[in-house]
Structure 1
Amino acid sequence: MTIQEIDALIVGGGFGGIRLTGLLKNQLQLAKVVAIEKGEGLGGTWYWNKYPGAQSDSESWVYGFSDDVDTPQPTTRYLYADDVQRQLITTAKNTNVLDNYLFENQVVSAHYDTTSSRWHITTDKGFRFAATYFITALGILSKPYIPNFPGIDTFQGVSFHSAGWPKGLNTDGKRVAIIGTGPSGSQITSAIHRSVESLVVFQKRAQYITPVENRALRDEEKDAISRDQAKIWNTVFNSLFAMGFEESNESALNVSEARRREVYEQIWNKGGGFRFFFEAFNDLGIDFTANETAAAFVREKIAEIVKDPQTASILQPTGAYGGRPLCADGYYEAFNNPNVSVVSIADNPISRIIPTGIELQDGTALEFDIIVFATGFDGVDGAYRDVDIRGRNGIRLSDVWQERPNALYGISVAEFPNFFTITGPGSPFANIPPIVEVQGDFVVRLIRELNQRGGRSIEANRDAELKWTELVQAVSRSTVFDKVRSWIQNNNVAGSEKFPVLFLGGLNTYTAKLEEEANIQYPSYQFLD
């Protein structure tokens, strides 16, 4: 096909892609903006993750953009996947970007041409573009990860990753295996356990999971949300994790045990993983002694809820409470049902998948109709390895990020001009839509600055990128998260080495850093003629 000359190409149909397409089209007034999405419709993560129980872990009134005034008003505390997708489609319509999207296409290569200062981009369906700006909004959890189980292709039942839940699949009366106990595994367990014939959860590492307490909002709550929008969003952007509630400024170690228990009990009953971790006390993420007080409380709750002591013991986590704070309604309660059980595969791992089900290392064979691989994602930079991205002088992004994936502010990479990675490695760990807002606004400012200087391209300064990488590492080392195996540390995938890929210093700190960068005329960037 002929090459289409355009101003910008954006990859992604989720929060990041929709936001950046709108900003470039409506604020920068770029005439030719194309957005590429591999799915049949918008939604990003919420297009693909349609498993039973899939829902946001940020509360509904802050899981969106602060200026998105025409989206449906929230009716529940948390949003289910279909609700988020509808909200994103409404946002796309309101910002007039639907016509900019090319669906059912996947970008397979993007090569920067130094002579023309253009990105030459090709999709799997043969579309070709030459763009001044190349922006990726691939999502931090968009590349499903399934361990390489021997015999995985021999299973005669239905098997799939949780992010590829088959449309219309009915699990009623089926024998179901769920491998994994992260967000999707715990949510699916909570959602389907009552209707299946049997459900076996294969657990490699027990998780700290709090209730979510999703429910319909009361009328007075809806009125308060509508009335206090400015206050709510001020709290979002001036906090560490942008969840819309006041984060605690009190140490767990400076109060009595009775007071600690009172706080934990109150927030446990209120529901929400991020609330339990960050609204309770301010040192759960940075002090192991404080962290253990929360961890012990959750273990006690599990022992209270799960009636069978052996099952409760398997479900009780050990070690630090960190990583992404999980929440699901009725997860531990599910194991009180006679048709639900948990198998620890920490010391007796899955040996292979067999035609009838799963065989463990000790020879135990279990039969299933359905196997769900709730085994997580190759997070943050994983999706980038599926695209042949080459910058100046043919340097490959996959080579640059082979061992230490990181971008300046999570946005820009040295030797990759006019290339911006929304929620890329080095971005803050916080509520995703506010991150996208902050990063999108910064990208607009960078492009405006480039135009004002009369330049052709902009890229990260290598030394500045290295300093940002070092800061991301240093902040991580000062937290409990650094000792917990997770995608945040880039070590949840077999064969990968630990390397923190998110900035744990908070969205407010991050935003202040971007503001400082702009105020002193972008010294961390190179503007080239």
Structure 2
Amino acid sequence: MAETSNSVLDNDYIEALREKYREERDRRIRPEGEEQYLAVSGKYAEFVDTDPFTPVTPREPLHDEVEIAIVGGGWSGLVTAARLVEAGATGIRLIDDAADFGGTWYWNRYPGIQCDIESYSYLPLLEETGYIPKEKYSYGSEIAEHARRIGELYGLYDKVVFQTRVIECRWDDKAKRWILRTNRGDEMRSRFVVLGSGLASRPKLPGIPGFDDFEGKVFHTCRWDYDYTGGDVNGGMAKLADKRVAIIGTGATAIQCVPFVGESAEKLYVFQRTPSSVDLRGNAPTDPDFFKTLEPGWQDKRRENFNNVLMGVPVEEDLVNDRWTVRRRLVERMMAQGKVPDMQSLMREADLEDFAHMEEIRRRCDEVVENPETAELLKPYYQRFCKRPTFNDQYLATFNRPNVELVDTSWSHGVERITKNGLVANGKEYEVDCIVLATGFEMSTGFKRRIGVEVAGRGGVSLYDHWSEGMRTMHGHSIHGFPNFFFVGLSQIGVGPNFTSMIDGVCHTVSHIIAEAQKRDLEEVEVTAEAEQAWIETIRAGTPAVSPLEQCTPGYFNNEGQASKTVSNYTSMLYAPGCNAFNALLAEWRANGEFAGFQFRRSNDQGGQ
């Protein structure tokens, strides 16, 4: 793709683009915000309660006690468990509702599923496992296989209870233990609890009128029904040859699965509210000589390099060098001109760079899509990071197929209603046999709804009451009033696009604290109210009074355009200096050995370390 220079975008054109961005945003705003989505409960619980891949194995309820209960078997739980094993902690149990490790990579098996971060940075514990990813961007089956590899290497298959969902964690003040209740009738007791339920665990369901009236097949992409479609993650869905299919959503999931459904279905309608920015993928097999050149610590170095490039920090070499890291062009130009990129000038130039980059993305639509009207509808008019960027080399070309039709719903705020025979958009009914919900996951709804686990701490206080005015933690993982309880997620930690890099410091730190507590035979470990408040003030100090995401097109990054009106969106509660700075802060905290901000209690202790 040819590069667009900032110089070809004159001031008048940039101002016209700014106005275009505002117009495109405003006509997509819906006053109900996040309330436009259905909660995955009651009659809609089937979207998460069923496993189309593995039959549930009957077992008797467990009534026992362990030292450490980790809720979640995805990256948050797996990496924390691995770090606990490395730290010498004992009595670990993982609990997950899937039938194997992997979290979202267990459930998401839609055709074409692939990670959008390069595999050498994204797949955790590569050095520890000695694994070499097959390609620069791994497909879902390889990622799920790597999760199993971690489970095997660290002996976690002997420490896990699968096909079990934790529904409540309640602290017993007298026994100094957590009581975990599950959907299988279990009542487990645990000294420590790590909640690592993940960011992408609760599917988002569109609250379209008539949702229950449709008489055809409906499923969410995180529970892909290959019995209905035929084929597998590589496509070949022969059973769709006589089917009319509707895909609702055009985010990262749809970008990957649309080409495969387009190849197989008799007719495919893609219902779009907001187009994604679709950049080149350019995947390639791993050079067999690549890993021979690597030295110990290479993965951390590569991750840090990636984060620095995205933050605009000058580096000697862009190690990842892909379409994520195009901002390096900006830094290189400034350095070549003898300019030291201070933050103010960097932000000003980055704004211009963003317009130029998005012009490249829009021009690619014209270059690939043959129908000019369709090409125009596929163009994203917003800043690059208003929505998560996507990368695919087949998606745009799929709209050149005669059996594929784009249905833009931006003027009607989405699909108007569902009937027994199909969907209505822009006043027209589209009759289909199957509706595929490529609508993503709940990432900015209320904490209780999103996490899906009742949590009650000291004195029976609900975690969600404690967070009623916003999340409260120290370093994103520890909560006052919730002793021996740790949270591994994306809120109040360092910002970055690579999930596994963002949580790694937290996983190290949580395992460090628990291992130390076991070594000292401590009964309770709890962050102080003062330390929790100090971290809140740190987060707030780096958060602008008016979120820049407020000006973005609606999506989960800005709570459907209401970023400043809610307290639940993780993107508004991140450590502003970024992922590298946050992980360095945690590493220093661990190294000094003081456990600053924590109270350690033994039996009958009143507090202190």
Pair in the same fold by TM > 0.5:
yes
- 3-state SS of paired residue (1:193): helix
Contact 2:306 2:325 (C-alpha < 8 Å) held by counterparts: no
User: In terms of mean alpha carbon deviation, does 72-81 or 127-136 score higher?
Assistant: 72-81
Once the two structures are aligned, what percentage of the paired residues are identical? Answer: 26
Indicate the residue corresponding to 1:298 in structure 2.
361
Rate the CA distance shift 1:520–1:87 in 2: closer, same or farther, 3 A.
closer
Residue 212 of structure 2: SS of its match in structure 1?
A: helix
Who is 1:378 aligned against? 442
1:192 deviates by 2.5
- Encode CA deviations 1:267-310: one digit per residue, 9 max, x unaligned: 9xx9955334x544465799433322222221122222222221
Pair 1:28-2:88 in alignment:
yes
Q: Is 2:470 the counterpart of 1:404?
A: yes
Shift of 1:473: 4.8
Q: Distance in 2 between matches of 1:330 and 1:382?
A: 38
Gap regions ≥5 residues in structure 2: 1-60, 231-236, 332-345
Give the whole-Å Cα distance in 2 for the aligned partners of 1:25 and 1:232: 22
Q: Counterpart in 1 of 2:407?
A: 343
1:459 aligns with 2:526: yes
Match of 1:202 in 2: 271
The structure that has the greater radius of gyration is 2
Look up the match of 2:187.
128
45, 48, 69: which one aligns with 1:9: 69
Partner residue of 2:147? Answer: 88
1:524 equivalent in structure 2? 597
TM-score with structure 2 setting the length = 0.75
The CA distance in 2 between the partners of 1:158 and 1:456, in whole Å, is: 52
Match of 1:186 in 2: 255
Q: Which residue, 207, 210, 226 being the options, matches 1:167?
A: 226
- Correspondence for 1:330: 394
Q: Tell me how far 1:100 sits from its aligned partner.
A: 0.7
Residue pair 1:320, 1:480 contacting (<8 A) in 2 also: no
Q: After superposition, what is the alpha-carbon deviation per residue over 1:100-123, rounded to whole angstroms, capped at 9, x for unaligned?
A: 111111001100112222111111
With the length of structure 1 as denominator, give the TM-score of the two structures. Answer: 0.86
Q: Distance in 1 between matches of 2:350 and 2:364?
A: 22
Q: 2:579 aligns with which of 507, 510, 516?
A: 507
8 Å Cα contact 1:213/1:271 also seen in 2: no
Q: Structure 1 residues 275 and 193, CA, compared in 2 at 3 Å: closer, same or farther?
A: farther
CA contact (8 A) 1:151 1:354 kept: yes
Q: How does 1:428-443 map to 2 (within 5 A)?
A: 428-430=494-496, 431-443=498-510
2, 19, 43: which is aligned to 2:79? 19
Q: Which blocks of at least 5 consecutive residues in structure 1 are unaligned?
A: 252-265
Report the more deviating stretch, 377-386 or 34-43.
Answer: 377-386
Mapped to 1, the partners of 2:348 and 2:380 lie a distance apart of 17
CA RMSD of aligned residues (A): 3.1
**Which residue does 2:36 correspond to in 1?**
none
Change (3 A) 1:197 1:67: closer
Q: 1:520 to 1:97 in 2, by over 3 A?
A: closer
Question: SS where residue 112 of structure 1 aligns?
Answer: strand
**Equivalent residue pairs, number:** 505
CA spacing shift, 1:319–1:280, aligned 2, 3 Å: same
Cα offsets for 1:307-340 (capped at 9, x unmatched): 2221111111112221422222222122222222
Contact 1:68 1:91 in 2 (8 A): no
Per-residue CA shift, 1:352-384, capped at 9, x if unaligned?
111111012x43100112211111211275665
CA contact (8 A) 1:288 1:480 kept: no
Change (3 A) 1:408 1:345: farther
Match of 1:414 among 467, 480, 493: 480
In the alignment, which of 453, 458, 461 is matched to residue 392 of structure 1?
A: 458
Paired with 1:62 and 1:356, the residues of 2 have a C-alpha distance of: 45
Deviates more, 1:170-179 or 1:414-423: 170-179
Residues 312/321 of structure 1: CA separation in 2 closer, same or farther (3 Å cut): same
